[in-house]
């Protein structure tokens, strides 16, 4: 049987409690969702601002479909680059204070394309060990020399930079670490770039729309601006839609356009989605109360969970992981919440280091204080 080996591998995963499974949603993404036929209060999406089913965005999607149809029909460089894509790129660039931007169909593709276009054989890529899988895959694909440093360990990074003499140097990092919720030390990273003549690629998947004035992201949060910065953000999380962009100096963006294979060899995303993102950008910028609500809920959750036997991780973002430790224990806790009508995913190795299984609680501006109180109550019940 050709499948015996694959079946054995799957059985082994299952025995370790590591089999990944999907659940079927029947409602829009939001605070109250129906999953596999049952209703839940959800703390498991990256829709941090509650825009994924915002009426203005839905109307923009419908208008976009009427104007442009459904499919883009080609890659950007053939005939799939529409007016809505073009306008979105210039508005995104201005929003994050960069001269130019390039749209990608997904954050995963943006990271693959950006790293591969900016670093190759003979160059070196420096990466935080807690970076997102897409950045890890990107550096492997680039064929540059790979230097990983301990999470936020600037001394080790400086040492690695010091030892590297030849080629281009590119530091890549999550701005908000997706399974921990903490921030990269962006000012320190940029200072190291200045000292060692390196570039810094910042993946702001979880900061864009959430951090900084008007949701302009992590660079705005830290007040950073430098031509050495290559900024990447995704548009399927706080922006509530789909896709991603890279923003940087014009020359860097032109280099991506010429060399990023995940940009060149893929069909452009539907132009109606770009139209929807233009509407999202307006809502995201103008409805400051959404970020205010998030800050309030984060403080409420952290105060409410302080006395639990499990530790909240040091995060000031809407990603609030509760460190449980063992895989089975994390799964049991997630299932206990589910039995109480609350959906919070357990995150296990290899997504996080061994022995650090956790509940990944994510908050949304669409949550109310009563919703958060319900989660706090359920976790206290389960701790008893």
Which residues inside 162-201 make contact with ligand PLP, applying CB under 6 A?
Answer: 174, 178
Residue 29 binding ligand PLP, by CB under 6 A = no
Residue 263 binding ligand PLP, by CB under 6 A = no
Residue 209 binding ligand PLP, by CB under 6 A = no
DSSP single-letter state for residue 266: S
Residue 202, phi-psi category: left (phi > 0), alpha (psi -120 to 50), beta (remainder): beta
# chain residues binding ligand PLP, by CB under 6 A: 14
Structure token pair of residue 301: 């959750």
Structure token pair of residue 51: 């825009």
Q: How far apart are CA 201 and CA 172, in angstroms?
A: 5
Residue 132 binding ligand PLP, by CB under 6 A = yes
Selected catalytic residue, list 98, 206, 221, 367: 206
> Residues 107, 212, 240, 270: which binds ligand PLP (CB under 6 A)?
107
State the minimum distance, in angstroms, from the CB of residue 233 to ligand PLP. Answer: 9
State the minimum distance, in angstroms, from the CB of residue 114 to ligand PLP. Answer: 11
CB atoms within 10 A of CB 54: 22
Residue 343 binding ligand PLP, by CB under 6 A = no
Q: How far is CA 218 from CA 130, 175, 337, 338, in A?
A: 17, 7, 32, 33
Report the 3 state secondary structure along 119-135.
CCCCCEEEEECCCCHHH
User: 3-state class of 87 per DSSP?
Assistant: helix
State the minimum distance, in angstroms, from the CB of residue 377 to ligand PLP. Answer: 29
DSSP single-letter state for residue 316: -
98 classed as catalytic: no
76 classed as catalytic: no
Residue 252 binding ligand PLP, by CB under 6 A = no
Binding segment (CB under 6 A) for ligand PLP, from list 202-210, 336-344, 357-365, 372-380: 202-210
Residue 244 binding ligand PLP, by CB under 6 A = yes
Binding segment (CB under 6 A) for ligand PLP, from list 22-30, 100-108, 299-307, 334-342: 100-108
State the minimum distance, in angstroms, from the CB of residue 216 to ligand PLP. Answer: 18
CA count, 13 A, side-chain hemisphere, 158:
10
Q: How far apart are CA 219 and CA 207, in angstroms?
A: 9
The smaller minimum CB distance to ligand PLP, of residues 105 and 334, is found at 105
The smaller minimum CB distance to ligand PLP, of residues 245 and 310, is found at 245
CA-atom Rg of the chain in angstroms? 21
Residue 128 binding ligand PLP, by CB under 6 A = no
Residue 203 binding ligand PLP, by CB under 6 A = yes
Residue 318 binding ligand PLP, by CB under 6 A = no
Name, in order, each residue with C-beta under 8 angstroms of 162's C-beta and a sequence gap of 6 or more: 196
Q: Are the beta carbons of 74 and 267 closer than 8 angstroms?
A: yes
> Residues 142, 152, 173, 234: which binds ligand PLP (CB under 6 A)?
234
178 classed as catalytic: yes
Residue 231 binding ligand PLP, by CB under 6 A = no
Q: How far apart are CA 280 and CA 283, in angstroms?
A: 5
> Residues 29, 42, 116, 134: which binds ligand PLP (CB under 6 A)?
134
> Residues 193, 205, 253, 379: which binds ligand PLP (CB under 6 A)?
205
The smaller minimum CB distance to ligand PLP, of residues 244 and 347, is found at 244
Looking only at the bridges linking them, the beta strands covering 244-248 and 311-312 are: unpaired
Selected catalytic residue, list 76, 132, 237, 367: 237
Nearest residue (beta carbon) to ligand PLP: 107
CB atoms within 10 A of CB 235: 30
Binding segment (CB under 6 A) for ligand PLP, from list 55-63, 185-193, 203-211, 286-294: 203-211
Q: What is the b/e burial string over 167-201, where b = at least 16 CB atoms within 10 angstroms of the residue's CB?
A: eebbbbbbbbbbbbbbbbbbeebbebbeebebbbb
162: closest CA among 192, 187, 123, 189?
A: 192
Catalytic (active-site) positions? 178, 206, 237
- Residues lying near ligand PLP in the complex (CB under 6 A) are found at 106-108, 111, 132, 134, 174, 178, 203, 205-206, 234, 236, 244
């Amino acid at each position: 049987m050709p499948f015996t080996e694959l079946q054995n591998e799957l059985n082994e995963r299952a025995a370790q409690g590591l089999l990944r499974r999907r659940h079927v949603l029947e409602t829009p993404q939001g605070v109250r969702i129906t999953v596999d036929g049952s209703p839940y209060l959800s703390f498991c999406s990256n829709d941090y601002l509650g825009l994924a089913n915002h009426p203005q965005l839905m109307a923009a999607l419908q208008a976009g479909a009427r104007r442009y149809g459904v499919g883009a029909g080609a890659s950007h460089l053939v005939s799939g680059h529409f007016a809505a894509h073009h306008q979105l790129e210039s508005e995104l660039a201005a929003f994050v204070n960069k001269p130019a931007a390039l749209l990608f169909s997904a954050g995963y593709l943006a990271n693959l394309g950006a790293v591969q276009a900016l670093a190759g054989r003979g160059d070196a890529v420096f990466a935080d060990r807690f970076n997102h899988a897409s950045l890890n895959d990107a550096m492997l694909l680039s064929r540059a020399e790979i230097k990983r440093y301990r999470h936020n360990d600037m001394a080790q990074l400086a040492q690695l930079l010091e030892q590297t003499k030849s080629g281009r140097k590119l530091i890549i990092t999550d701005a908000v670490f997706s399974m921990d919720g903490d921030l990269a030390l962006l000012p320190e990273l940029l200072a190291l770039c200045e000292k060692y003549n390196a570039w810094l690629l910042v993946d702001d998947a979880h900061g864009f729309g959430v951090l900084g004035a008007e949701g302009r992201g992590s660079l705005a949060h830290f007040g950073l601006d430098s031509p050495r910065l290559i900024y990447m953000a995704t548009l399927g999380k706080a922006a509530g839609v789909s896709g991603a962009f890279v923003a940087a100096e014009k020359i860097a963006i032109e280099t991506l356009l010429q060399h990023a294979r995940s940009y060149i060899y893929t069909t452009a995303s539907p132009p109606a989605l770009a139209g929807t993102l233009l509407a999202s950008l307006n809502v995201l910028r103008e409805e400051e109360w959404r970020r205010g609500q998030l800050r309030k809920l984060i403080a409420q959750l952290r105060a409410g969970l302080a006395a639990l036997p499990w530790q909240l991780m040091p995060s000031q973002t809407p990603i609030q992981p509760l460190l449980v430790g063992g895989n089975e224990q994390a799964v049991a806790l997630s299932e206990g919440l589910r039995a109480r009508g609350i959906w919070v995913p357990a995150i296990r190795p290899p997504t996080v280091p061994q022995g650090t299984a956790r509940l990944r609680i994510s908050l949304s501006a669409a949550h109310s204080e009563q919703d958060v109180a319900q989660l706090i109550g359920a976790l206290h019940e389960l701790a008893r």
